Structure formats: structure tokens, C-alpha cells
Amino acid sequence: MSFQDSRKIFPAAFYPSWVIFSHRQKLKWLNHELIKIWPYVNEAASEIIRTSIEPVLEQYKSAILSSFKFSKLNLGTVAPQFTGVTIIEDDGCGITMELDLNWDGNPNIVLDIRTKLGVVLPVQVKDISFTGVFRVIFKPLTEHFPCFGAVSYSLRDKKKLDFTLKVIGGEISTIPGISDAIEETIHDAIEDSISWPVRKVVPILPGDYSDLELRPVGILEVKLVQARNLTNKDIIGKSDPFAVLYIRPIRARMKISKVISNDLNPIWNEHFEFVVEDVPTQNLVVKIYDDDGVRPPELIGCARVRLKDLQPGKVEDIWLKLVKDLEVQRDKKDRGQVHLELLYCPYDMEDEIVNPFAHQFSMTSLEKALKSGKSRTKASHIHRTPTNRKRDVILRGVLSVTVISANNLPAMDMSGKSDPYVVLSMKKMSTINNKTRVVNESLNPIWDQTFDFVVEDGLHDMLILEVWDHDTFGKDYIGRCILTLTKVIVEKEYSDSFPLEGAKSGRLNLHFKWTPLPIYRA
């Protein structure tokens, strides 16, 4: 008998309260039950928040704050409302439930805050409005009641969190910067204590559930290469752009580039390293700002890369279009592009993947032998963090560049042709530029010339190729390619075609080869 048949035979009045016929009725029933048990949930949740969040608040408190503690903590009488439920099966090993939640609460939360100046402020947190998605995981599934060994919970998506801060018996605006400092501390505490991929694991049946806890799974090497055609935010002069990069939006984990003054096409060539904890759901976010000195930086644009789209061990060279908002894609204004080079290295593939940024890559044979014999500890038991790895890796070698040809170059002469040649240089080397011969009257020139560069710092240098049109009384700029050396260091040799920046059309066809030079150390 089908479900619909049973509804025809038995009237709804004879069904028990837990039998639900529609998604709307299911949510109504869940919200009704939550209202009934909310006083008990309030008491338990308040204690959990106090014991788990308060230490994190202390850890992430702003520089102007000395201490950060709860003096009162009660979630109030208004229960949250479920607005959606999604069930996700986890390969037969567990069940994941995602609950869309909306809460406009009336909590009684008072923070005792002490500033570096010794001022003690009782700050009330009121008018909380929250919309988000909570993830609850029942895993592993077992044959013993209640049929799962542990429950894990996490804030999967924080869509909105608004609240008001008020100093009891005073005005919070009397101390400049205190409101922003408190809001930043609360934001960082939530992100680092309960926001996915962080999760809390509650054992239900006896057993070892350490595999359910959050742990790093790999390293993402990021090269912030350059940006182009950025929107100018300054009335006088040009923007002073800098970049903020992160995987988890916590101040302590954000990476900030240097400021490039008065430039809408900045070149950074800076390397950053990030810990990856959950490839399917995490993104690398890049935000470009204009540095306004004493005023807060102004956002130029942002972009993101889904980590699940990266191929492990492969150097990805990508250009990303900058947008105003990552969630609302309504802005069609051209804000420029940012150029990234990415290399994802999972820990379980360390023996198969070449990571040139790792210290071991630049070791001598003797150093590698001594290190491998020194410790036989299994990789899964090593606490991995980028802070304990050597970052100033220096790679020496010979870079051989073959300028093969170009295609579809723009016409620079009245005859509808160009007389192109290519100038090659290394950004960090003050050497004489190399250049190809001139190919007369051609938009698809063939050079097939090879140039060698002795490179002292391969990971932090750049190859610049500029295409010019030769004239009798001068030269005309056509376009350029700016390339890092990471890919050729990893792959040793490769060929590719590159579009010309600053040109309406045209591509350069190049071949690269990297020959490492021996490393000698006393």
C-alpha cells in the first residue's frame, strides 16, 4: 500500500502527531515542539555558550581590550523558527541534516569589558537578528539504539547576524573604536568556535570519535601575482591598492599584501600559505581595497575560488573578475581583474606531489637523508600548521625561454601590418634585457629563439615579455606577458600560449625549461 493509499483509507484525525504529510506541516510541528522545550534549551545552550565561546572571546579580543567576559547570559523567551530542513545522506556512513533558522530574539546578554586604559564597561547585547543554516551530523551509523554513535553540529552558513551594543548607564560612542573592537571580537569568536568547518562533537555511544573532529587536510599555496584595470577610487591621482586573502574570515588567519601606491595595474608577486580543512565547502576569497590613509580602506572588488575545483598537485594560473558582492551577483560594473597562481597539496599525497614552497624541496641530498632518518613519525600524527614551516625557500636555477611565435597581433602600421619583436627580462634581476630579432610586416611572426637566465630566487622572481613594433624612428608598445616561475619549477618543462595584456588581440607561444643549480651549505 502506498503512502497516498493510506491517506485515503485512514482519516488524518486518526494519525499520531508525529506523522507529517507535507514539508510545511513538518516545519510547523518542529517549531511547535521547539517552543515547548525552549526553556530547557535556553538553559543548556546558555551554559554551552559561556564555557565554549568565552575563552575564544578572550583569544580574539582586540588590541584595545584587556578582558572580555559574560556577566549575564540568557537567550530569552523567544525561540528560533525553523524555515527549512534538508536531509543529506553521507555515503551510508551517516546522515546530515541542515536546518534553516531564523531568530529575532530578546536575550539578556551583558558583557563585562575592560579596556587597556583600565576602564570597565558593562555592555549589553540587544536586538539580535540571526538568519543562517545549522548543520547536524549523525555519524557513524550503528546497529545499537539510537542507531548513531555521535552527533556533530556546526553553523554551516551565517547569512545575517545583526545586534546592537549599549553601555549600561552610558554611551558606547564616548570611547572611540570600542564598538568596532567588540563587534570584530564577537565575529571572530563565532567564526572560530562554531562556524563550518569547525564542529562540536557530542558522543552518544561509547567509542573513539576523534576522526569526526576538525583537522587539516592540506596546504594551499597562493601567489598573488597582479591586478589590472582596477576601478579608480581616488578623486586626485590613482588608487593605492592592496589585497586581503583568506579561507576562513578570521583576522588572525587573513593575509594582507603590501600597498602599491598610485597604480591601477599593480604587480605584487607575493606568496601566501593557507591551511585547508574541508575542500568540498571552503573557498579562497580575495578582496582588493584602496588604502585611504587615515580613513577606512574602500573596497574595489572581490573574487573567490572554490577549492574543490583545484586539481591537487597542479599549478593553476587564473584571472578572476572582481565583483562588488560575492553573494549578490547584480553588479555588472567592470571593477578589474586579479591574477592568482594556486597549488593545492593534500597531506595524504605528499609523496606524490612536488611543492616547491616546502623547505624539503630546497634541501641538499645529505639534508634530506638526515631528516628522513631522524624521525619516522607517521604523517597522520604530526600537528600540521604553516607557522612551523620554513617560508623563505630559495631556489636557484637556469630558466630557458624559447620564444616560438605570436598569433593575431594587432596592426600598428598604416600598411595594416607590424614589425614585431619581443623584449625579455627578469623583474628582480638588473641584467641587460634580451630581445628577439625583428620580423618585418607580420601579424603572426615566428622567432623560435631561446634565451637563458640564471635565476637566484625562482619562487619570487618574474619573467616579463614585452612585444614592441619596430619603426624607423622609434617603437610602439603592443602588449606584455608577466609570468611567475612556479609552474616550470614544478613541471621542469612545458609549452603554452599566453594572451597579451594591454593589447586588443594577440598571443605569445612559449616554451620553458628549468634546470636546478646545486645547493651548497656548510
Per-residue pLDDT of 25-48, as tens digits, reads 778 888 888 899 999 988 888 888
pLDDT value of residue 2: 56
* Residue 236 pLDDT: 83
Give the span between the Cα atoms of 444 and 493, in whole angstroms. Answer: 24
Does the pLDDT value for residue 389 go beyond 50? no
C-alpha cell at 221: 599555496
pLDDT in tens, 155-167: 888 888 888 888 8
Instruction: Say how far apart CA 471 and CA 418 lie, in whole Å.
Output: 9
What percent of the chain stands above pLDDT 90?
43
pLDDT confidence of residue 24: 72
Residue from 481, 485, 504 nearest 494 by CA: 485
pLDDT at 202 over 60: yes
Which of the four pLDDT bands, split at 50, 70 and 90, describes residue 176?
low
**CA-CA-CA-CA dihedral for 110, 136, 305, 62, to nearest 10:** 20
Task: Name the band, by pLDDT with cuts 50, 70 and 90, for residue 375.
Answer: very low
Q: Is the confidence at residue 275, as pLDDT, over 80?
A: yes
pLDDT at 203: 92
Average pLDDT, rounded, for the chain: 84
Range in 2-11, 216-225, 251-260 the model is least confident about: 2-11
pLDDT on residue 277: 93
Q: Per-residue pLDDT averaged across 298-303, rounded? A: 94
Asked if pLDDT for residue 515 goes beyond 80, the answer is yes
pLDDT at position 366, please? 46
With bands split at pLDDT 50, 70 and 90, how would you rate the model's confidence at 385?
very low
Task: Give residue-wise pLDDT tens across range 443-498.
Answer: 999 999 999 999 988 888 999 999 999 988 889 999 999 999 999 999 999 999 99
The listed range with the strongest mean pLDDT (6-10, 144-148, 366-370) is 144-148
pLDDT score of 456: 87
Are the C-beta atoms of 354 and 490 separated by less than 8 Å? yes
C-alpha cell at 102: 531564523
pLDDT at 8: 61
Q: Over 50: is that where the pLDDT of 250 sits?
A: yes
Mean pLDDT to the nearest integer, 215-239: 91
511/86: higher pLDDT: 511
**pLDDT at position 276:** 94
Prediction pTM value: 0.79
Reply yes or no on whether the pLDDT at 102 is more than 80.
Answer: yes
Of all helices (H) and strands (E), which one includes residue 50?
A: helix 23-60
> E strands, 77-195, where?
81-90, 94-104, 108-115, 120-138, 150-167
Give CA–CA dist 243/342, Å, rounded.
Answer: 16
Best CA proximity match to 425, nearest among 393, 444, 399, 396? 399
User: Lowest-pLDDT range, 214-218, 234-238, 285-289, 296-300?
Assistant: 234-238
Task: Evaluate the CA torsion angle 223, 229, 231, 233 in order and state its sign.
Answer: positive
Q: What is the pLDDT of residue 178?
A: 76
Looking from the CA of 305 toward its CB, the CA atoms found within 13 Å total 22
